Amino acid sequence: MIEKKYKNALVLGRFQMLHKGHEEIINEAINQAQNVLVFIGSSDKSNTFDNPFTYEKRCEMLKAVFDDKIIIKPLPDLGVGNVFKWGDYVLDNALKYLDSVNLIVEGIESKCELWFSDEIKKSLDFIKVDRSIIDISATKLREYLYNNEYTLWKNWVNPKLYKYYNELRLELIKINTLPSKGKIILIDEE
């Protein structure tokens, strides 16, 4: 086994359409740490266009891509604006599953470091993954799903997720927060 620099890493995201940018962040954590805890944020939210998919569905997709390389757990919203309180909440929850957190891996656009006091930051390392080469967002992918733009959608997701296309699309249509573009067309599974 290759010796890794860190014992335990943490990644946090909503994964309201797992995409290649998320994969870059999680793969960096896997490369750096022996154990990787992935929190599915807003785990208590679903059935809206911003948070359409349940925790269980997001967990299933993460497992389809990463198998047993990561630990996946829910992280419900806290509902407070105090960033230090949020940071404490994240770490307290992480310590339910890991004996320590040494590293947080995040996207370069993230404000994760603002969640922690200077005192706590001394015990953590942060790696920011530049996702600019993977210029996609989960919002854009949800739009592709809703509008039945399968070819565009599949360019940005892991092939292990292709089988979910129709199911995810129907979920978005059911939520019906965007104007309908007519008849619902599904793709034939490859």
pLDDT tens readout for residues 117-164: 888 889 999 999 987 778 889 999 999 999 999 999 999 999 999 999
Q: Please tell me the distance from the alpha carbon of residue 110 to that of residue 117, in angstroms, as a whole number.
A: 16
pLDDT of residue 186: 57
Q: Please tell me the distance from the alpha carbon of residue 106 to that of residue 125, in angstroms, as a whole number.
A: 11
pLDDT tens, residue by residue, 40-85: 999 999 998 789 999 999 999 999 999 999 999 999 998 766 688 8
pLDDT tens, residue by residue, 94-103: 999 999 999 9
pLDDT of residue 81: 63
SS3 139: helix
Q: What is the H or E stretch that residue 32 is in?
A: helix 20-32
Residue 189 has pLDDT above 70, yes or no: no
Q: Count Cβ atoms within 10 A of the Cβ of residue 138 and give its class: 0-12 exposed, 13-18 middle, 19 or more buried.
A: buried
Q: What pLDDT band is residue 180 in, cutting at 50, 70 and 90?
A: very low
Q: Please tell me the distance from the alpha carbon of residue 71 to that of residue 153, in angstroms, as a whole number.
A: 26
User: What are the chain's domains?
Assistant: 6-129 (3.40.50.620), 138-175 (no CATH)
DSSP 9: E
pLDDT of residue 178: 47
